[in-house]
Structure 1
Amino acid sequence: MAGGTEAFPDLGQHCQHPDCHQLDFLPFKCDGCRKEFCLEHRSCRTHECPKSDHNSRKVVVCEVCSMSIETTGRDGEDEKAVLKRHEKSGTCDPKKKNKPTCPVRRCKEVLTFSNSSTCKSCQLKVCLKHRFPADHSCKQAQARNGQWNDKFLAALASTNGRDCAKAGRGSGSPPTTTSSIKAY
């Protein structure tokens, strides 16, 4: 079905949903079925796309070792085939059934591929709540940033409470105080 109007035949596309066919000047192309749709039918769920999971990421959990195996819809592999290939690979070990937890004290968060982060300084794998170096007491980051913090604190202490912006203006008089205005 061609898009556009009589005056501009190449402008826009008709929605390819069987019940719609609305002329849309900014149509959406489905990544799965490669058809053009209007705003209302652009999602795979609304136009019942037969190839809706070609780009989706899926995870299959091995019942033997509790390892999560990431798959994609592109290869069309069955979950059973993925699990069978995992068992034959030699990485499936029933002793590894216990999932790793966050090493931060009193944190019992189970680490998976989607809720963990590896610190760039100390290479420690922690949960997302403790991903910042200060949150998991990263020694390398503290050593690196400690030098800069010490210099900053020394410079701050050397001002002795003086306002740095007014100190270099050359005025010998002390700063004047302004009255405060209360908001009601």
Structure 2
Amino acid sequence: MEFPDLGEHCSERTCKQLDFLPLKCDACGEVFCKDHIDINRHRWSSAYKKDVQVPVCPLCNAPIPVRRGERADVIVGAHMDKGCRPDSARQKEKVFTNKCFRPGCKKKEMMKLVCDQCQQNFCLQHRHPLDHECQGPSRRVSKAGCAAQMRLLESRQKTSNGQLPPNRCRTKS
């Protein structure tokens, strides 16, 4: 051998191969060849301490928290013994729960869309005060907002009786 001091022997009892690029196990601190560096391959007795996977209960599909040093199978077994509810018994959470308050609308949204004026919840289509004919406290409206409201009212009134509505906007001064 030309370089007897180069490299180290694998710590695995059955291997003892001289490796010029040895790998040190961060769990046990011993040196191994590329074939035995895997914790499961060199049969380290406390390998479960380095395994940082989150176990999932096979009955309810819920993740089970396990602290370092605890055995996952023992914790999952205790979870199953205590009060694990299988998937079929567990109710699925509804996502679309926020019902639109506009009469005749049956849409539901994921998030609440509350009107600033009447403080009621509406769907995306009816979220603006003009879209749900808001009866909330009247606020001072800008001139542009008043003009938009008047055009909307005029178009509605013209189709029904042909007369123009009175101007009810209180504009900002």
TM-score by length of 1: 0.36
TM-score by length of 2: 0.38
Query: Could you say which structure has the larger radius of gyration?
Result: 2
